[in-house]
A and B are shown apart, each in its own frame.
Chain A
C-alpha cells in the first residue's frame, strides 16, 4: 500500500490555485463583492498551512512535552481569538475572548487529553503525531459551536430586550427570563455537528478519513479513527457550547439581575 502514495509537486498545486483564480474572476464579473475575501483567504490558508507544516516537522523531530504543550496553548488562544472575531456583538472587556477560551479549554482540550490517555494511548501519551492533529480537529469544531452559540445568544438578547425585561418586571429570575434564548443558542451551536454526523459517509466523506485513505492507510482503520474523532468532536462541541452559553448568559445580568446590554458592544461595522 505504501508504494501507492503519490507525491504532489509544486506545479500540481499551481493548477489547483489556477482554478481558484478562475473562480475569483467569475465572482469579480458577477459583482459578488467576494473576490478580495476569496483571494485573501486562499493566500492565508497556504501561508498558515505551510508554516504549520514547518512547525509540525520540527515538533515531530523533538517530541518534548513542553514544546507540545506550548503548541497546544497557542492553538487554544488562536481559537479563542477566532471565536471572538466571529461574533457580531461581542461582550466587552475581554469577556468574549475569556468565555470562549475557557469553555474550549474545559471541553475540547480536556476531551483531547482524555482521548489520548484513555483511548488512543500513544507512547508517550503526548506524542505530537497524535496529540496535535486530534486537538486541532476538536478545537476547530468546538470553536464553531462556541462561536455560533455565543453569537446567537448576544444577538437575540439584543433583539429581545423588551421580552427579557418584561419577564424581569413580572418577577422572574434572570435564568428563567433568558431560558428560551439560551436554549436556542445552545441548539444553534450543536446542530452543525449533529448534522455532520448524520450526513457522514452518505453525503460527504469526512476530510480526515479521506486524508488518511489518500495517505495509504486501510479504509477500515481510517473509519475507526474517524468514528472516534466524530465522537470526541460531538462531546467537545456539546460541552463547550453549553459552558460558553451558560457563562455568557450569566454575564448578561449583573448581581441585581438586571439585563446589562451595555456589556455587549455594537457590531463592528456599525
Chain B
C-alpha cells in the first residue's frame, strides 16, 4: 500500500538500560523480526516500554537516521509503536480507536469489516488482543514492538496471525521486536532470537526457514 513512500529504516538500540537489563545494544534491520524471550520479571516488557520512551531509562534509540531524542515524544511513539500485552480501550465502538485498517488485515485476523461497529464492552480478551495489533497497524507505524501478541489466541488463529504479521512486516520493511515465550512460535517467526540472561541479551541459535 505504501510502496512509493516506503522507507527502509533499521531500529537501533545503543546502551539501553531498563529495569534489570543493562547496556542492551541491538540493530533490527528493516523487515527483520527479532524475538526476545525471558522469564516473567526478566524485563522484557520494560525493555519495550523503554524503547517506546514510556518510562525513564538510559541509552539511545534511533530509527534510521532519526535520533529519538531529537523527535517529539508523540511522533516517536507513532513511528515506533508498542502493542502491549494487555490493550486498553476507551471509546464505545471499535471504530473509535482506528484509523483506516490495513487492507486485508481484518480478514487475515479472522474478522470482517463489521467488527469496526462492535461494542468494545462485548469484546473477548482474544478479540481485544487481535484488534490491538490491527489498531496499531492502522496508524502505519515504521517499527513495531509486540508484547506477546498471540498469548490469548487458540493455535489455529495464532498461526494465521503470526504468518500474516511476518509477511506484512517483511513486505513493508518494518523492523519488529517481538516478545514471545513459545519456542515453536519463535522458530516460526524469528530471524534472530535473544534470551534474557540476568542483565544481558544472549543470542540463541535460530532455525531459519
Residues of A within 8 A of B (CB): 162-163, 165-174, 180, 254, 256-259
Contact = CB atoms under 8 A, between A and B. Distances in A.
A163 B73 contact: no
A174 B55 CA distance: 14
Contacts of B54: 165, 168-169, 258-259
A258 B56 contact: yes
23 contacts: A162-B86, A163-B89, A165-B88, A166-B84, A166-B87, A166-B89, A168-B77, A169-B54, A169-B83, A169-B84, A169-B136, A170-B78, A170-B97, A170-B135, A171-B75, A172-B74, A173-B74, A254-B56, A257-B74, A258-B54, A258-B55, A258-B56, A258-B73
A138 B56 CA distance: 41
Nearest to B82: A169
Contacts of A165: 54, 84, 88
B74 A168 contact: yes
A198 B184 CA distance: 66
Contact of A167 (B72, B83, B90, B136): B90
Nearest to A259: B54
A42 to B, nearest CB: 45
Interface of B: 52-56, 72-75, 77-79, 81-84, 86-90, 97, 135-136, 139
Contacts of B89: 163, 166
A254 B55 CA distance: 10
Nearest to A180: B90
Nearest to A162: B88
Contacts of A173: 72, 74
A158 to B, nearest CB: 14
A179 to B, nearest CB: 11
Contacts of B139: 170-171
Contacts of B75: 171
5 nearest CB pairs, A to B: A171-B78, A166-B88, A257-B73, A162-B88, A256-B73
A180 to B, nearest CB: 8
A143 to B, nearest CB: 32
A180 B96 CA distance: 15
B53 A258 contact: yes
